[in-house]
Amino acid sequence: MDIRKLARRNILNLHPYSSARDEYTGSGGILLDANENAFGAVIPGGYNRYPDPRQQALKNEIGKYQKISDDRIFLGNGSDEAIDLLIRAVCEPGQDAILIFPPTYGMYKVCADINNVSVRQIPLQNDFTLPTRGAADLNDPAIKIIFLCSPNNPTGNIFAADAILPLLQNQNRLVVVDEAYIDFSGTPGMLGFLSEHDNLVILQTFSKSWGLAGIRLGTAFAHPDVIDLLNKIKYPYNINILTQEKAREALRHPGALTDFVEQILAQRAYLEKALEKLQNVEHIFPSQANFLLVRFKDAPAIFKHLIEHNVIVRDRSRAVHCENCLRITVGTPSENRLLIGLLEQLEG
């Protein structure tokens, strides 16, 4: 893939903003170049200084953790930032398109809509596997990015590498695989394919398994040319000091992540077993994520009963192939017991 053919012309020609910390990257010295408050901050912590715009220390640690070189890592203010930047980097508004496979995560379409980039949609099959390769829309040259979510939100299933790899054959577009839930899947995901496919982009996030949704940190892994393009158009200081510090602290506790994943998987199994016994449950879709998509006989009645008792789940019943489906995040043991108790109250 030639990134110069894929990127929008104005982005290729763009002279990005060069921040003070881009122009002087040394350490120490008397910093009178960024109009910061040289006296300090009103609270302790060194926050009077701008953060490292390249997030070098954090990238080193993520690189070590993922066994990937720093120049293949982009950090965003949540993976949502990476989704938006990818679209803006390669899709010409009013002309190009993205392709999604609904039902899936809503941000791909929202970001495309905001950027006036059209959205081609090929629904997943009834069992939520990818549509067969013959689908004519797949060959549309206007499509510059395919977004896949694996494990998929809201359906919970993962797509086999064998189903994803054929999509990478067309070199005139990017294939973005959103792996927000990969840590719950017990599989390594697509990172191992990165070095062979320079049009592959993998998104991950600190929001789910790491338990850090509040600090807003997402990662995009891709060929260095794609990463350069994203860095060129991101806000100069898109990851703040607090987030960089907390993420580095988290990376020193990978065992805590493993513990969480173990507990969540045990609770997911508990929920599956308990839900299976209920008459009101029609189907529990197999999940490789930290949530279950469940088809009820009467989802609106269930949803209403739960909300009346202060338990909030996600109504996905209007999504393709998701009639009467609610998406339930795996909670703590007591939360899950309470949920099951409420559902038992509605049994005939």
Ligand X SMILES: *Cc1c(COP(=O)(O)O)cnc(C)c1O
Binding site for ligand X (CB under 6 A): 78-80, 105, 149, 153, 178, 180, 205, 207-208, 213, 218
Torsion over CA: 272, 273, 276, 281 (sign) = negative
Query: At 241, is the secondary structure helix, strand, or coil?
Result: helix
Q: What is the DSSP string of 188-237?
A: -TTGGGGGG-TTEEEEEESSSTT--GGG--EEEE--HHHHHHHHHHS-TT
Q: 16: how many CB neighbours lie within 10 A of its CB? A: 12
What's the one-letter identity of residue 288?
Answer: Q
Q: What's the closest the beta carbon of residue 157 comes to ligand X, in angstroms?
A: 13
Give least dist CB 50 to ligand X, A: 23
Alpha helices in 19-100 (DSSP H): 20-23, 56-66, 79-90
Q: Which is nearer to ligand X, 51 or 78 (CB)?
A: 78
- Nearer residue to ligand X within complex by CB, 227 or 247: 247
Q: Smallest distance, Å, CB 198 to ligand X?
A: 22
Shortest spacing between CB 291 and ligand X, in angstroms: 9
End-to-end alpha carbon distance in the chain:
59
CB nearer to ligand X: pick between 314 and 337: 314
Rounded CA gap, 173 and 4, in Å?
12
- Minimum CB–partner distance for residue 80 and ligand X (Å): 4
Q: Which residue is nearest to ligand X (CB)?
A: 78
> With left for phi above 0 and alpha for psi between -120 and 50, is residue 160 left, alpha or beta?
beta
- Which one, 3 or 319, has the nearer CB to ligand X? 319
Which residues fall within 8 angstroms of residue 120, CB to CB, at 6 or more apart?
A: 97, 98, 99, 100, 137, 140, 142, 143
Please check whether residue 191 is in contact with residue 221, taking contact to mean a CB–CB distance below 8 angstroms: yes
User: What is residue 290's DSSP assignment?
Assistant: S
Least distance to ligand X from the beta carbon of 288, Å?
Answer: 13
- Residues 6+ positions from 159 with CB-CB distance below 8 Å: 129, 130, 148, 150, 152
* Smaller CB separation from ligand X, 231 or 280: 231
Q: Which is nearer to ligand X, 105 or 303 (CB)?
A: 105
- Neighbour tally for 262: CB within 10 Å: 10
CB of 76 to ligand X, least distance (A): 8
> CB-wise, 124 or 180, nearer to ligand X?
180
The nearest distance, CB 149 to ligand X, in angstroms, is 5
Select 205 or 267, whichever has its Cβ closest to ligand X.
205
Nearest-angstrom CA–CA distance, 132 and 209: 31
